[in-house]
């Protein structure tokens, strides 16, 4: 979790330093997307449970 917080702080600092213009808009958009993903991960950490292979489907409706 502390690694994620460090990444968030690093990205926020990079966004603050990056000049906003047409040439950097794509880069800033990517940073915003990564930042949103990290923040979402902080709020709801993935438990990693995984569903396993699941069950086989039931009988076919059309024989």
CA 32/CA 43 separation, integer angstroms: 16
Each residue's pLDDT tens digit, 12-55:
999 999 999 999 999 999 999 999 999 998 888 666 555 566 66
Would the pTM of this model clear 0.75, i.e. be above it? Answer: no
pLDDT of residue 8 exceeding 70, the answer is yes
The domain spans of the chain are 2-42
34 Cβ contact list (under 8 Å, min separation 6)? 11
CA 45/CA 48 separation, integer angstroms: 9
């Amino acid at each position: 979790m502390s690694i994620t917080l460090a990444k968030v702080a690093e990205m926020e600092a990079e966004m603050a330093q990056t000049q906003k213009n047409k040439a950097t808009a794509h880069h800033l958009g990517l940073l915003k997307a990564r930042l949103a993903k990290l923040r979402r991960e902080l709020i709801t950490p993935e438990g990693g449970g995984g569903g396993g292979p699941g069950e086989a489907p039931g009988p076919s409706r059309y024989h």
